[in-house]
Structure formats: C-alpha cells, structure tokens
Amino acid sequence: MNPKIYVDSQHEIDHSLIDPDALFVITKLREAGYSAYLVGGSVRDVIAKVKPKDFDISTSALPEQVKQVFKRNCLLIGRRFRLAHIRFGKKVIEVSTFRAGENEGELILQDNEWGTPEEDAKRRDFTINGLFYDPTNHSVIDYVGGWEDIHKKTLRTIGNPVMRFKQDPVRMIRLLKFCARFGFKTDDETMQAMLKCREEIIKSAPARILEEFLRMLESGSAAPFIQLMHQHGFLETLFPALAHFLDGPHADKLYTYLKCADRIHNQYGIAFINRSILTACLLFPIYEQELQTQYLDKNLMPHFGEIVLLAHSLLKGFETSSFTHLTRRLSSTAAFIMATQYRLTPLTGKISYRNKLLHNKEFVLALKFLDIRTLINPKLAETCNNWKKAYRAQEHHGDRTPHPHSNAPYRRHHHHPGGRRERRHAGE
C-alpha cells in the first residue's frame, strides 16, 4: 500500500516546535545508513500547531544498532518491547525499531518482531497517532488516514476496534484521554467497541493503568478526563471510591479542584504542580467530607493527630478498593499535603507559624495546594500570603524566622536539659 504524502505547503509544520535533539537523532541515524522518522503524538501535535511534550522516533535500525550509533548516550530498555533511550542530560528521546506482527490477535504478548514503516503504523492505536514525519524533506507520511482524522477532529482505531481494545485494553483509557485533551469526537464504531470491551480493562497491568491515569492528571485536562472516565464506567471498576463520591451530592467540589489544577498547569506548567498535589486534588474533597461527617457534624473538634490519622486512613482505603495502587511515597506525600491544610488553616482559626513545619521538605507542596484552595475560596488569600511570607523569610533567615506580621525575627528555639520537648505529630 502506498502512503499518502503531504508536503510542506500542505501541512506548514513549524520546525521551531520540534526539539533540536530529536532532529539530531534522526540525522545521526540517517548518516549511519538507516531510515528514521518522527512518529506518533509529536507528529499529531506539530500538525495541530501544538508544542509536543515528548518526541518519539521510529527507525529501521535494530536496538543494538542504535546503541552502536549513540554508544554511551544510549540505554536499551524493555524485554517485551525493546526500546532505545537516547539521553541528553535529563531529557530522553525514545527510539523504537519498526515493528510487524499479527494485528488481529488478542492480547499482544510479543512485540520484538521487526517490520516496515507501513507495518509499524498499522500496529499503532489510533489513526491520529499513526503518522510519520520526515524532517529531511518536510513530508508527512500517512498509511492509516490519520491526516484526515486530525483535521476532522475524529478519534478512530487503526483496524478492528473491538480487537484493538482486546489486544491492549489500556487503549480505551487513552481514547478518553485524547477526547479530554483535544475535544475530539469518537467515531461510532470505536465508541461502541469501547462500551462492549469496557470490562476488559481489568486484564491490563495495574502499573500501566496508574501511569496513564497520573499522566492524564498532569496534562492540564484532568477535570474532563475524570468526568469521561466516570461517565463511561471506568472509575467504578478502577477507582470505586472516586466513583462513589462522584455519584453523591458533593461531586462538584472534586471537579472544582481539578479545574483549578488544570488552570494552574496550563498557566505555569508542570513545574508548579506535581502528582502528589494532583492526588490531593482528587481526594481532598472526600477528606473534607469525612472530617465533616466523623467530627464536625457531631460537634467534635478533632486534634491534629486525629486529622493526620484520618488522612492516612483515607489513602489506605482508597488504595485497598482500587484496581491499582499508588506508590508509597506518592500516598504519604498526598496525605501530608491534605493533613497540613489543617495546620495552614486550622479548624479553630488559630494559626501558629511554626518553624518545624516551615522546614519540612514537603511544606512547599502543601503551600502550593493552599494556592489551589485560595482559587476556590478567595477568603483564604490573606492567610495564604502570610504563609508565603513566613516561608520566604525562613529560606532567607534560616532558623531565625520572622513572624509574617512582624519585622522582628523569631529567636532561635533551644531545648534545655530537662525542658519540655514539643510533642511530634505524625506527618510533620
């Protein structure tokens, strides 16, 4: 099958959107006698005139041959799906060899069968991700109809959609991801196949589910993604605690947090907001409701130890009921962020700008989460600004932390022999 070729005058791809290191990798592979193209999401994005987050390359070179070209800068990874990672400092350009193999069998178990560009394109998930770009002659190569689907804003699987979802059920989550990120519609056949295959999702590796889920939370489109996951029944299977909350009267609170996180991400980028903060955005509305039900509705005022225990209990319950589990670090950090909100904005209203809290290495994450809460409730703005002043002051003065309302620094606190040591709460 001859591909459709789209030349420079048709696509008008802006080369400033393409990472120079990705172009360097392609050039080096071609100089070594191999064919190499940009592929997948990066091609989709530059056609849509969006700067890609990642740049993947497909080549005729086998992984070991890629290693020979880039030597120490190349790391080969994976068994089932052998890849080459070309390192440029902390940045990685991923290089895969063209793959072939049967496209109609269930559950892909073997991926290291080398093939042609056409075979490689037809093994990919959706037509919008099946395009190649040749930067040497500025041409887009289309074996699967992806060019038209990008311009029609349509999501369609490559090949039989039922079989494609059974081969790799995570593709159904990726489908909803692209719907949320780009506002694309799903063609009828693909949508019906997803609904038919929905229960297949539990055949996926939990680690892959978690990674796709977390990457989507980081995308700046977390709110519509969670809404689509819930609407199509995936949350009920994968994260039933979230589904249960979203079925209740306080669902809007959770979406409000996610929308604020999306807004901050799209304005300031991923450097400002990370996975632990995003996890807190998902669970803090549930946490607030649990505090309300277990304590405040009963006219009980929990002490901070109980607040901390409730945060960890909520995370544990969330993980126990979920198909996949958060990492221990992510879980504990999210619990710290949530519990610390009741240090920053105590239920009693009495704030203590404590040195020990300000020096906690994760305090800045809790402060960023307070920023999100301030977007939701502007009445918290003064408190948030005071905590920021206190944090900046301790960074500048070390242990001599000035009170945010005073020009005089705190005196450094010492523990005298026999003196009463401050009780240490969990989570500090």
Set 125, 149, 262, 371: catalytic member: 125
Burial environment of residue 101 by CB neighbours within 10 A (0 to 12, 13 to 18, 19 or more): middle
Set 54, 111, 134, 168: catalytic member: 54
Count of CB atoms within 10 A of residue 401's CB? 23
DSSP string, 250-267: THHHHHHHHHHHHHHHHH
Task: Quote the pLDDT of residue 100.
Answer: 85
Task: Quote the pLDDT of residue 310.
Answer: 98
330-343 pLDDT, tens digit each:
999 999 999 999 99
The first and second tokens of residue 257, run together, are: 């947090």
Residue type, position 401, single letter: T
Told to judge if 125 belongs to the known catalytic residues of this protein, a careful annotator would answer yes
Told to judge if 399 belongs to the known catalytic residues of this protein, a careful annotator would answer no
Interatomic CA distance for residues 379 and 398, integer angstroms: 30
Task: Quote the pLDDT of residue 67.
Answer: 97
The first and second tokens of residue 149, run together, are: 């689907």
Q: Which domains are seen in the chain, by residue range?
A: 1-152 (3.30.460.10), 243-397 (1.10.3090.10)
Interatomic CA distance for residues 291 and 306, integer angstroms: 10
Residue type, position 114, single letter: W
241-294 pLDDT, tens digit each:
999 999 999 999 999 999 999 999 888 876 778 999 999 999 999 999 999 999
Are the beta carbons of 3 and 130 closer than 8 angstroms?
A: no
Interatomic CA distance for residues 230 and 239, integer angstroms: 10
DSSP string, 414-425: ---TTPPPPPPP
Kindly tell me if the per-residue pLDDT of 413 is higher than 50.
no
H or E stretch at 398: none
Kindly tell me if the per-residue pLDDT of 425 is higher than 70.
no
Q: Which residues contact 132 (CB under 8 A, 6 or more apart)?
A: 37, 38, 39, 43, 58, 117, 121, 140, 141, 142
Are the beta carbons of 76 and 83 closer than 8 angstroms?
A: yes
Set 45, 56, 120, 149: catalytic member: 56
* Cα 283-305-291 angle, rounded to 5 deg: 40
Task: Quote the pLDDT of residue 113.
Answer: 80
* Cα 361-355-377 angle, rounded to 5 deg: 75
pTM of the entire structure? 0.84
How far apart, in Å, are the Cα atoms of 123 and each of 158, 175, 194, 242, 285?
7, 16, 18, 33, 41
Interatomic CA distance for residues 22 and 138, integer angstroms: 14
Residue type, position 73, single letter: N
When computed from its CA atoms, the radius of gyration of the chain, rounded to whole angstroms, is 25
Burial 115-133 (b: 16+ CB within 10 A, else e): bebbbbbbbbbbbbbbbbb
How far apart, in Å, are the Cα atoms of 126 and each of 10, 49, 71, 216?
22, 19, 33, 17
171-208 pLDDT, tens digit each:
999 999 999 999 999 999 999 999 999 999 999 999 99
Strands 131-134 and 36-39: antiparallel
